[in-house]
Structure 1
Amino acid sequence: MANNTSFDLSHLLYRYPSRTALLEEFAPAVPLADKIAPPFWYFIGFLGNPISAAVWLGQRMRRNNSSAIYLGALSITDLIFLVLHLMYVLHMAWGYDVYNAKIGCELFHFAYYVPQYLSTFLVLAFTAERYVAVCHPFLKEKLCTVQRAAVVVFLLLAFSLALSSAQAYIWTFSELENSCNIRPEAGVGDNWSFWSVWTWVTDIFAFGLVPLAVLVFNILVLREIFKISRKDALTRQHSQINGTGGGRANGGNSAASTITLLSVSTYLIVTQLSATVLSCLNPSFPHGGMNMSDSEIRADKTWSSMFTYLEVRKIVEVICMSHYACYFFIYCLTGKHFRKEVVRLLTINGRMPFLNSLVAKSRRKERYSMVSTNGGPTSETYATNFSTTM
């Protein structure tokens, strides 16, 4: 028995049976970052996302506005992710067994990835729609409709569910270790295991290629806007020279909506790609020997490099996950109509006397049209791929 105890204590996983305990000892910035930063995003997101969803999906905004469907779905998706991330933090950083159970482990990881995928896909969808509206305006009435937007959202949800379904197989609850770990069958083959290959491919696709596609669409839209602006400037200059006047173009609403959508997509690109780049570096920082003592681990360059990487990655991820909470501020800063609708909603349709003047201004009869008149989106961007199975 003494020999068995000695052997058990010499192995890292017996001294630190949970990932949280291991990180608290050697990389304390990882659990500390999860405890400090996310609560700010929860507070902002739990207030801002429901308001955003209510405004975008309200009849006044979505009636002739296909982008409102995407933005409303994005607000709901981000809210769901923040709820799941709260469960993740309670489990990983605070030590509560939120999903340490049979079926619960599999269901949580399946659900945890769905809003992450869907969030990026929704941003791609409305960015592509904005590209059509700006660069191919003759197709706008046909392709950029509220009905089509609702169908696209449903299809993107189905696709996200399909991508996430593999997580139910990859993760499983281990009764021996009393933790949620990578299924042994899914981990066979190390770097070429099903878990590694699937995670690598889907993360690169959803969190790398999709944001890059958004970036390409943004560049094309900005280039077209620049060409149109230059052409309009030349037209106005010609009109003034010939004394024909030339009134101001009625494009303020369209320009403002473009700024809103470009700002949201740019925010996603910066945050998502930053986290993705760090995630892709994970194979470059392997762990060291599993039978080292604590002092040997601290002196070992391999272990030290891995723990430093995990700390840097976690800090960047908790900062980058702000895009799940802060779109509300972008909407308010760039959208006049959105601000008015928020005031109308928060004042219960103008029934609060001390804000009646603001509501009266916000209820002017205006047509909300960002794209279409219809003929009249571990971080925790990623679950950290580091389990006690190592």
Structure 2
Amino acid sequence: MNWSNVSTSSDGGAIPANQFANLTAFDILYYTAPQVVMIDRVITPFWYIIGFLGNPISARIWLSRKVCKSNSSAVYFGSLAVVETVYLMLHVVYELQNAWGINTFHTPVRCEIFNFLLITPQYMVPMLVLGFTTERYIAVCHPFVMEKYCTVKRAVIVICCMGCASVALGLIQVYVWSYSDMFGCVFREGAEIFQQAWTWFTEMLLFLILPVACLLLNLLVIREIKRLSMESAAHGQGTNPASTITLLCVSFYFIFTLLPATIVYAMQQSVTQGDPSLPLEQWASDPVWSSYFTYLTIRKIVEEICLSNYATYFIIYYATGVYFRRSFRQMLCTPIKPNSRAKTSDFSVSLSNGKHTCAETVVLNDMESPSDT
């Protein structure tokens, strides 16, 4: 929540300085809407525990030399795990400030730098998801050009470009934010119009258009898999697109947790704050402030759901990925039962089947195959 708006009254006039003389933004929020703070304190540490345990394991498995040398999607997954770990580390600093009242970045210079660092990984995550979603679309729907476009080298180049783009977009935050002696880290005075326009542009591009693009690509992949499955069944063959299932699960989870947060964020312009000149003890009983705090509570719940994006992909990998599950068990020195049956694991290598063409990877005798995620 941005409390810089409470420095002026609802009619645009200045309010008495002593209203917030000895209060921080955290103090105001904790006094007027303690449920918002408690949601942060109770739920967020749960995501930290899962994320700080699962993300490094995911990065180690996906970015291992054995996997990366033959699986471009693993490069995206590994990069995603690294970016999410960085974001969670920065989010701890943010959380200490906003949920526990410990001053971590409300100082000159640190205010601008921290907001730049915090937003940059948030920009990069949607790009990475779009990257491996596009790869999976090419691999399933256009298998003949897969060897040209779905390579590890190309994936590394694309990810580097995404990182540069994220940094370039994030640098704008250095201009947007500034430190105020009275209100701490707030939007820079005189940059409000630019900040609103820039925020709308980045929010709609990265957190609406890109997820919708991922959704459309996923629907095309599902349609193609269904068609291939029907053709395989007609010829007495079976398919088990394991890594495609993993990719779809990650992509869909990203979409359906991010879009609600984008919608709730877009609503904030239409939610009216109450009169900040009222004494704080009257804010809870004021109808306008009460409605605003209800919106904040709903928004905080949605944000916590969205935060799970940065912590729970390890669970999806383990639940849907054969190779990932096997690798994780090997890390724990858990014995793996051999399986002598042949199994199909993914759409990745073109095979001819009459006049139709599909793509499959066959794993024999349970040999480890990075393409079988």
The answer to whether the superposition gives a TM-score over 0.5 is yes
Q: Deviations over 1:242-265 (max 9, x none)?
A: xxxxxx45x53xx00000000000
Q: Is the 8 A contact 2:176 2:195 kept in 1?
A: yes
Q: Is the 8 A contact 2:208 2:262 kept in 1?
A: yes
Higher relative contact order, chain-length normalized (CA < 8 Å, sep 6+): 1
Q: Equivalents in 1 of 2:179, 2:275: separation in Å? A: 25
Residue 212 of structure 2 corresponds to which residue in structure 1? 212
Q: Is the 8 A contact 1:172 1:180 kept in 2?
A: yes
Partner letter of residue 269 of structure 1?
A: I
1:146 Cα shift?
A: 0.4
Q: Equivalents in 2 of 1:256, 1:16: separation in Å? A: 58
Q: What is the CA RMSD across the aligned residues, in angstroms?
A: 2.2
Residue 358 of structure 1 corresponds to which residue in structure 2? 336
Q: Is the 8 A contact 1:29 1:311 kept in 2?
A: yes
Q: Is the 8 A contact 2:128 2:159 kept in 1?
A: yes
Partner letter of residue 331 of structure 1?
A: Y
1:360 Cα shift?
A: 7.7
Distance 1:257 1:367, change over 3 A: same
Q: Is the 8 A contact 1:10 1:293 kept in 2?
A: no
Q: Equivalents in 2 of 1:275, 1:321: separation in Å? A: 10
| Residue segments in structure 1 that go unaligned for 5+ positions in a row | 1-7, 188-192, 237-247, 348-354, 372-390
- Identify the match of residue 89 of structure 2 among 83, 86, 98: 83
1:302 Cα shift?
A: 1.9
Identity over the aligned pairs, expressed in percent?
A: 41
Q: Is the 8 A contact 1:285 1:302 kept in 2?
A: no
Residue 166 of structure 2 corresponds to which residue in structure 1? 160
Q: Deviations over 1:281-304 (max 9, x none)?
A: 001112122212235433332221
Partner letter of residue 201 of structure 1?
A: F
Residue 148 of structure 1 corresponds to which residue in structure 2? 154
- Identify the match of residue 171 of structure 1 among 167, 173, 177: 177
- Following superposition of structure 1 onto structure 2, how do residues 41-120 of structure 1 map, counting pairs within 5 Å? 41-120=47-126
- Following superposition of structure 1 onto structure 2, how do residues 183-194 of structure 1 map, counting pairs within 5 Å? 183-187=188-192, 193-194=193-194
Partner letter of residue 164 of structure 1?
A: G
Q: Is the 8 A contact 2:19 2:277 kept in 1?
A: no
Q: Is the 8 A contact 1:55 1:345 kept in 2?
A: no
| Residue segments in structure 2 that go unaligned for 5+ positions in a row | 1-13, 340-364
- Following superposition of structure 1 onto structure 2, how do residues 1-390 of structure 1 map, counting pairs within 5 Å? 13-14=19-20, 17-174=23-180, 176-177=181-182, 179-187=184-192, 193-236=193-236, 248-249=237-238, 251-252=239-240, 255-347=241-333, 355=334, 357-358=335-336, 365-369=367-371
Q: Is the 8 A contact 2:214 2:255 kept in 1?
A: yes
Q: Is the 8 A contact 2:128 2:162 kept in 1?
A: yes
Q: Equivalents in 2 of 1:310, 1:178: separation in Å? A: 19
Q: Equivalents in 2 of 1:184, 1:234: separation in Å? A: 67
1:359 Cα shift?
A: 8.4
Q: Equivalents in 2 of 1:120, 1:9: separation in Å? A: 41
Structure with bigger strand share is: 2
Q: Equivalents in 1 of 2:19, 2:59: separation in Å? A: 45
Structure with bigger helix share is: 1
Q: Equivalents in 1 of 2:317, 2:298: separation in Å? A: 30
Using the size of structure 2 for normalisation, the TM-score is 0.85
Q: Is the 8 A contact 1:11 1:290 kept in 2?
A: no
* SS in structure 2 at match of 1:172: strand
Partner letter of residue 68 of structure 1?
A: A
Q: Equivalents in 1 of 2:31, 2:309: separation in Å? A: 30
* SS in structure 2 at match of 1:100: coil
Partner letter of residue 187 of structure 2?
A: I
Partner letter of residue 274 of structure 1?
A: P
Q: Equivalents in 2 of 1:370, 1:107: separation in Å? A: 41
Q: Equivalents in 1 of 2:113, 2:337: separation in Å? A: 45
